[in-house]
Chains A and B, each alone.
Chain A
Amino acid sequence: MNTTRRQFLASAAAGSLLLPSCVRRAGKPVPGSLVGPSAETGHRLRVGQFPPPAREEKHAVVIVGGGVAGLAAARKLQQLGCGDFLLLELEPEPGGNSRSGENSVSPYPWGAHYVTLPGEDATEVLELYEELGLITGKNADGLPVYEESALVADPSERLFLNGRWQEDLLPTSGATGLDRGEFERFHTLITHFKAARGNDGARAFTIPVDRSSTDPRFTALDQITARQWLHSENLHSERLHWYLDYVCRDDFGGTIDQVSAWAAVHYFASRNGRAANADPDVVLTWPNGNGWLIGQLREPVAAKIRTRHLAWSVAPNSEGKVQIDAFDFESNQSVRFQANTAIVCTPWFVTRKIVQPLSRNPDFPLEYGPWVSANLTLRELPAGAGFGPAWDNVFYNSRSLGYVVATHQSLAQPKGPTVITWYAALCDGPAAAEREKAAARSHAQWCEIILEDLRRVHPEIDALVRNIDVCVWGHGMIRPVPGVLCHPGRKQMAQPAGAIHFAHSDLSGFSVFEEAYTRGVQAAKAAAHPLAPFSA
């Protein structure tokens, strides 16, 4: 212990401590750029006025949208031997919310950056992880053994609280007996929900969400917000409320006052996966976050992906099949695709614009939370008092979600530069207003917001930053506000319209890999065998 303090002191005494913080003068711009889903191409859809198709192609299946659901559908079609398909993606790279990037220092995520251990109900996902070698075998008790390097390396989480870092995110450091009592009761409630099954025999909370029980004892939680639920359980600790608010913002892009209690409980209680070589709450992650999964899904179908293609109309044709019109940004032409079946894997706010006629227009509130993420290339990982750097680093009472360290999973001894990904769900005001504000900000303005947040925990951050790339996600993810998850209309949305199938995590009510993947696989199976009934 003394050695470290001595070293720290030596640097302080020698004057090197914090010295570089004055290297960058205030106002000097940080290198980097605004990246992200192109507003220009998306905007094109709103304006419309596409040229009539200049040519026509025929395929057995056309997939619209190359996020997790679309790629999962493509990969599954390939596996099923249905090779004549095409995937249309608007962006230059597929991946959706799981897109990632890379620079000379490290690969890094732009959005989704971990998955939890799949439980028994997530059969499709378990199968995928076996195929990808993430599950390397089973132990004597039949529990899956996970590839160790994909399990989040210890230490996984820390929280900056009262000027120091503590291990784990639950704010226990300096908590009163009252707080601790409430943490305990919260934990008991969650344990109860984890084990609970409904009158239909299904788990109360599970992934995929549609395999959860429909027992009204549990679905009633979807009528209230997460905060209302805490109060109804007589849980009033400010720390506990902060914690649940953090969880809601982190996983659903909304506050504790916006997100449904059912969703908040589902986040904890659906984690029923187990592993032979890890604690149940451990997650799987990679330097580029879920970008690794995207790479794996994409690899076998890469040749069938058409990027920079905006599908602007998906409609039944006269033969009862499907006709898809797409605008190719490369050639500036529209192309018409005739397909036996189509799988529409776009977010619902896009789907309802491009699919005609779409009889179902659910009456529940469809809300998308805007997000911002930023990748900061640093000369080295910043230090700090208390518990050492973890994978996920969160600041108590900040409006940001903190940052994850891209090089955390590296097996090498740390040396020099690193990349950290900073996140914030923009949920302080109405989504549309936040979206507008976010879109209007310049790179320099974002940098200042991000650095101001980081300075609170790392006063030396300015001196460490080499580059900041910022990504604004206008429609980051669907927000599971009360009423969405247990609304009967939600399940209707997933029903195919003739030869048009749908797959997207929006149909689940929140954005997680497992939901999108499972829907993609199911839609592929249904599209490949048009007579097979769709089942949840």
Chain B
Amino acid sequence: MPQPLSERAVRLLLLASVFAIATCGLVYELIAGTLASYLLGDSVTQFSTVIGVYLFAMGIGSWLSKYAERNLLGTFIQVEFLIGLIGGASAALLFTLFGLVDSFRVVLYALVLLVGTLVGIEIPLLLRILKDRIVFKDLVSQVFTFDYIGALLASLLFPLVLVPHLGLVRSSFLFGILNTLVGLVSLWLLRDQIPWARGHQSVGLATLALLAAGFIQSDQILAWSESAQYPDKVIHTRSSAYQRIVITRGQDDLRLYLNGNLQFSRRDEYRYHEALVHPGLSRVPERRRVLVLGGGDGLAVREILKYPDVEEITLVDLDPEITELFTRQDLLAALNGNALRNPKVKIVNADAFTWLKSQTATFDFVVADFPDPSNFSVGKLYTTAFYRELRRVLSPAGAVAIQSTSPYVARQSFWCVVNTLEAVGWIAAPYHVYVPSFGEWGFVLASPGPLPGPPKLPAPLRYLTPETMNALFDFPPDMNAVPTGVNQLNNQVLVRLFEQEWKHFVH
């Protein structure tokens, strides 16, 4: 059994714990503030409200501290364990819950209130524990000195070391561990003065184990919290040079997400891809050479292969990870009917615009299935400059089908694509289809000259018939044509419209 510590050592130890808990306390506050401003934006508001609530909660804690009458040391140690657990897990909790709950602010402020209250109890308790060991004026001076130095240390460590090296989740766990250790060390050194020491110790060690597990597993926690953002089970995730690829699988469903945006759902993708390909391809007089831009999932290619007279399909997709995945992965290749392994298909992993500029060959039909124009880079693929290039590689009797976002949600954006095509001399025939997982979706069939009719659809299709196909070209008043600017490289009208129109739309 170790010798009881000298009074001086106990004093120093308790002051050191002031320093440690002050650092921890500020780190939790900074983590909450940082997380809130990243997740909710408007960093000034988030930081000031988080700091305000946190300080107020510390006031509550200080007030509550008077109700601890007996066994101050025991209470202090319990508080340490609680702060360690809750504060330590706070970043992981907030990050995970952001994707799961509707009212994230409630969770955020509840957590900030809880941690703040617990942190608020610490210093008054310590003051009372130390009041008989140190002269009052020295006590107050020393405790607050260490408190403020700890705060300085935390505010320097946080941006310079913690966030860059550990990230928010690990930092939060690390400081939870530190808080718990303060409790455990105090417990171990003063155990003869604390009733139920053994019980406290078990609780402390369990907390420590939980936090350590969290620290070690924080990557997995992050991965799990990502998967929690998807309704179905995540079966594949990968970050390519261009995007985050996530594939989920649910009851008879399979979904592809790129950067969190749904690309297709197995349940209804046939509606989208039949509508993308057939209204145009069934009407061009000659269709030997077909070009697909984007669409690395091979689903458009699957539809194109339904025409026996198609001799050659060139698929140009930026991301080799996508085309690889949909060529080799059996579940996904089954979805496109092994289209990408078909000898008629040539896969090119290249940037569509630069590849197109370098082309001299011509194509009878082109499918442009790019992501929505949600940023200035993708927006370039919807400009007059791009459509001029497209015209250059198209045979005179050919046609182009272009995915052009939702005419219901982004009516102006949709018609901007139409108007842009017309501005550079295309005959544009806009149409739309209802895809349950997307809603109303729009396409434009564009051709240099009038297309011959009637269409010769390959059999069998799941959605399109000559009758349903004609109906696609009707626009009800709420999606009908609106005048817009023409999208050019030098004005990117479309990206600006798109951002406005989708900004308030939650799906």
Contacts and interface: CB of A to CB of B under 8 A. Distances in A.
Interface of A: 1-3, 5-10, 12-19, 21-22, 148-149, 151-156, 277-279, 282, 385, 388, 411-416
Nearest to B226: A10
A19 B353 contact: no
A21 to B, nearest CB: 6
B488 A412 contact: no
B243 to A, nearest CB: 10
B375 interface: yes
Contact of A148 (B41, B242, B488): B488
Nearest to A277: B488
B479 interface: no
A15 B384 CA distance: 42
B242 to A, nearest CB: 7
Given A9-B95, A17-B167, A21-B164, A414 B377 contact: yes
For the side of the interface on B, what is the size category? 35 or more
A278 B493 CA distance: 12
B488 A5 contact: no
9 contacts: A14-B219, A17-B164, A154-B376, A154-B490, A277-B384, A277-B488, A411-B351, A411-B353, A411-B385
Nearest to B384: A148
A407 to B, nearest CB: 11
B376 A388 contact: yes
B490 A19 contact: no
A349 to B, nearest CB: 38
B489 interface: yes
Contacts of A282: 490
B167 A413 contact: no
B470 interface: no
Interface string B156-173: 000000011111111000
A430 to B, nearest CB: 40
A274 to B, nearest CB: 14
A154 B489 contact: yes
A413 B490 contact: no
B163 A17 contact: yes
A204 to B, nearest CB: 28
Nearest to B423: A277
B142 interface: no
Given A148-B385, A148-B489, A9 B39 contact: yes
Kindly name the residue among A19, A149, A414 whose own CB sees the greatest number of chain B CB atoms within 10 A.
A149
A279 B164 contact: no
Contact of A412 (B35, B259, B261, B354): B354
Contacts of B357: 411
A15 B261 contact: no
B242 A22 contact: no
Contacts of B170: 15
A16 B503 CA distance: 28
Interface in B208-240: 218-219, 222, 226, 229
B378 interface: yes
Contact of A413 (B41, B165, B378): B378
A22 B164 contact: yes
B261 A13 contact: no
B344 interface: no
Nearest to B260: A3
Nearest to B493: A154
A419 B233 CA distance: 41
A8 B378 contact: no
B62 interface: no
B380 interface: yes
A13 B91 contact: yes
A40 B166 CA distance: 50
Contacts of B353: 411-413
Contact of A13 (B169, B376, B489): B169
B363 interface: no
What are the 6 A-B residue pairs with the smallest beta carbon separation, nearest first? A15-B167, A151-B490, A154-B492, A412-B351, A18-B164, A411-B353
Interface string B374-402: 01111010011110100000000000000
Contacts of A148: 383-385, 388, 488-490
A14 B259 contact: no
A22 B159 CA distance: 12
A398 B98 CA distance: 38
B306 interface: no
A278 B43 CA distance: 36
B489 A151 contact: yes
A381 B226 CA distance: 26
Nearest to A16: B167
B384 A411 contact: no
B163 A12 contact: yes
A121 B164 CA distance: 56
Interface string B484-506: 00001111100100000001000
Interface of B: 34-35, 38-39, 41, 43, 91, 95, 98-99, 163-170, 218-219, 222, 226, 229, 241-242, 244, 259-261, 318, 351, 353-354, 357, 375-378, 380, 383-386, 388, 488-492, 495, 503
A279 B491 contact: yes
Nearest to B506: A2
A3 B99 CA distance: 10
Given A8-B38, A19-B164, A153-B380, A388 B385 contact: no
A14 B170 CA distance: 8
Kindly name the residue among A19, A154, A279, A412 whose own CB sees the greatest number of chain B CB atoms within 10 A.
A154
Nearest to B495: A154
B167 A13 contact: yes
Contacts of A12: 34, 38, 163, 167-168
B168 A13 contact: yes
A277 B384 CA distance: 10
Kindly name the residue among A10, A151, A156, A277 whose own CB sees the greatest number of chain B CB atoms within 10 A.
A10
B357 to A, nearest CB: 7
A22 B165 contact: yes
Contacts of B380: 153, 411
A18 B158 CA distance: 12
Contacts of B99: 6
A329 B353 CA distance: 45
A385 B260 CA distance: 21
A1 B502 CA distance: 10
B503 A15 contact: no
B242 A415 contact: yes
B167 A416 contact: no
B235 to A, nearest CB: 19
A279 B488 CA distance: 11
B351 A388 contact: no
A21 B163 CA distance: 11
A149 B385 contact: yes
Contacts of B95: 9, 13
Contacts of B384: 148, 277
Contacts of A154: 376, 488-492, 495
B163 to A, nearest CB: 6
Kindly name the residue among A15, A278, A282 whose own CB sees the greatest number of chain B CB atoms within 10 A.
A15
A131 B410 CA distance: 41
B106 to A, nearest CB: 17
Nearest to B259: A3
A277 B318 CA distance: 29
A166 to B, nearest CB: 15
Contacts of A21: 164
Contacts of A3: 259-261
Contacts of B41: 1, 5
Given A3-B259, A154-B489, 18 more contacts: A1-B41, A9-B39, A12-B38, A13-B169, A13-B222, A14-B222, A15-B166, A15-B170, A19-B164, A148-B489, A149-B385, A153-B490, A156-B490, A278-B491, A411-B353, A411-B386, A413-B242, A414-B377
Kindly name the residue among A5, A8, A148, A155 whose own CB sees the greatest number of chain B CB atoms within 10 A.
A148
A391 to B, nearest CB: 10
A2 B39 CA distance: 7
B489 A18 contact: no
A151 B384 CA distance: 13
Contact of A388 (B91, B375, B490, B503): B375
